[in-house]
Amino acid sequence: MSKLNPKQQEAMTYVSGPLLVLAGAGSGKTSVITQKIAYLIEQCNVPAERITAVTFTNKAAREMKARVSSLMPKEKTRGLTVSTFHQFGLQFLRYELLHTPLKGNFSIMDADDSKRLLMELMMRDNLSGAESRELVGKAIKFISDWKNDLIEPEKAMETLDDPEDMIFATLYALYERNLRAYNAVDFDDLIVLPAKILRENAQLRDKWQNRIRYLLVDEYQDTNTAQYELIKLIVGPTGKFTVVGDDDQSIYAWRGARPENMALLKEDFPKLKVIKLEQNYRSTNRILNAANTVIMNNEHLFEKALWSDKGQGEKIRIINCRNDDDESERVAKEIITHKLRHGNEWEQYAVLYRSNFQARMLEAQLRQLQIPYKLSGGQSFFARSEIKDVMGYLRLILNPEDDSAFLRIVNTPKRGLGPATLEKLGLFSQEHNISLLASCTHGGLSHVLPIKAYSTLKEFGDFIEHYTRELDQHPDPVPLVRQMIDETGYIDFVRSDSKTPQQEKNRLDNIEVLYTSIQALINRAEDDDDKTIDAVIRKLVLLDMLEQQQEEENTNKVNLMTLHAAKGLEFDFVYIMGLEEELLPHRNSIIAETIEEERRLMYVGITRARRELTLTLAAQRRGGGQMRTTTQSRFLEELPEEHLDWPANAKKKKAERDPTVVANEYMSNIKALLKQKNK
């Protein structure tokens, strides 16, 4: 085991009651969690299958698993659960299927599928056109918040003040009804359903509390109400758990995270022990002093101050720019000059910003200077709608039980099937215990639906079944896939749906890239079994595409990303752009008076830097087609002056000094020089 500092050691060995580890940025929290798992197994004789560790991302879960594997032999970790909250919820629903309203082949709707369903429901209620497009985002937010706060559809109305919002409570009820008719769950349900089931079933609760003898939770500050409820129900009154978090890095309130869950822990578990990890292993002390000084302006439940043994380090540079063009140019030139001067790698540099639009000008400057870069947090290739649509067809051909894929493509391109028809189809499939696709070709469906709707669905079902047979074991499947997509009319749909010729070209090019990727996977396969379209599509479906893409692109490039996307990462040289009021802090947070969250975002940005930190701001910035004068961010004023290299501010201060004082100082200096000369 690697050496832990005294506080880390204390956190690892404390197992007698509930524990909150308050882990500052870069304080080695993953080491504490993974070594605690090893300690529980080897020193406390807790069987691995009785330990569960949950976190928020696949990447974090993979890293945790890898670290545990390096600490102890494989046979000792057999049965250990290390997963994301949502993977844990999915596993629970599969185990306890009988206690859910679902059938075994239930589908998981992604955000895109949920959006599509809501759009259709709105159109059915005559909220069509532009108005529904504006409302759908609001509806998704309302429904997700209600779910994460464990509020049932029938209670949703009671939480509203504005009569105009009542429509969302009605939509919530319709949306839930349709989900169940389709035998589907959405992303939120993976947490909400297990929490509800455990809350309502004491026998099941006892079973899971006995099953999980020790629970570890990473990034606890990001939990929402449903996740905290799930934690409480799993650990029970004994509270055999360790949660690790940092209230100063809680930056996801907009998606339901509640930093106040830290305070609730103290209330719900009076014997809670708190251990602070304040030694930082990442940054220099100037960077940490800046982070500490900024975050001190927030109210705190727990006080902490980060420190490091890495020395003072370089001062934090602040660069004032004329406008946003100048800012992008300065940052790009700063990076190339610094790299050439010090012989660094491109990947050591990161540029962070509050909003995605800030990257556009910077990208142009980097391309001009031939600086390689990768853009994180943007849309992945596999998240594009045209790719998801084509993959939907392929998924359904591969697995006729995939109701989620069916729902995505049955009306893409439009086949004249409205939500009412699909709801009846969903109820029919549930009644006969068959998939939605199998229902399309079931003779009994003709008694439920009007003849036109029935004919359309039967034709669609026959079409999919035909290609399922054709593609099975076909020696050259790609031309057949191409033919199938052409026959659906999807390519014509893309052409008519695209708003510009460039968009049309990009979308059609993306589909070509997908065909090429499928062919490449077939060509690379060594086994004949891996050359089938079946095997290839399975491979594509199972991989986390976004992460796969990021890993493939993890080459020597400058990193560009939003401050939100940067959480959990670190870089030697960090640039944060746009230190202006209404940008950082964001205009919405100023209006809503949620500045504290923006300050935490600033804190996260500062603590990404290992060696050097540079902040930039523009005197003018383009907005709404015209240049606007900006005001420098309040966060700049909160930084400790002694740790800053800020030429523009020094110049300004000099200019602002009293002329009489300046004149007197000048005369005194002259007199001192003359005196010295006469000696």
Active site members: 29-30, 218-219, 249, 608
Dihedral sign computed on CA atoms, order 531, 535, 537, 542:
negative
Name the token pair of 435: 């998939």
Backbone angles phi, psi at 657, to 5 degrees: -70, 155
Dihedral sign computed on CA atoms, order 290, 296, 301, 307:
positive
Residues in Cβ contact with 395 at an 8 Å cutoff, skipping those fewer than 6 apart: 402, 405, 537, 541
How far apart CA 57 and CA 36 sit, in angstroms, is 20
For residues 114 and 189, the answer to whether their CB atoms sit within 8 Å is no
Classify residue 672 as exposed, middle or buried by CB count within 10 Å of its CB (0-12, 13-18, 19+): exposed
Strand partners, 109: 186
Backbone angles phi, psi at 631, to 5 degrees: -120, 135
CA-nearest of 12, 40, 61 to 212 is 40
CA-nearest of 377, 461, 395, 437 to 110 is 395
Residue with tokens 């106040």: 260
How far apart CA 549 and CA 535 sit, in angstroms, is 20
Q: Give the number of residues written for the chain.
A: 679
How far apart CA 92 and CA 197 sit, in angstroms, is 10
For the chain, state the CA radius of gyration: 29
Name the token pair of 472: 């099975």
Name the token pair of 473: 């074991």
CA-nearest of 243, 210, 209 to 227 is 243
Residues in Cβ contact with 374 at an 8 Å cutoff, skipping those fewer than 6 apart: 553, 554, 555, 557, 558, 559, 560
Dihedral sign computed on CA atoms, order 324, 325, 328, 331:
negative
How far apart CA 333 and CA 326 sit, in angstroms, is 10
How far apart CA 609 and CA 280 sit, in angstroms, is 12
Residue 275, sorted as left (phi over 0), alpha (psi -120 to 50) or beta, turns out to be beta
Name the token pair of 368: 């001009």
CA-nearest of 5, 570, 43, 55 to 276 is 5
Strand partners, 318: 615
Backbone angles phi, psi at 358, to 5 degrees: -65, -20
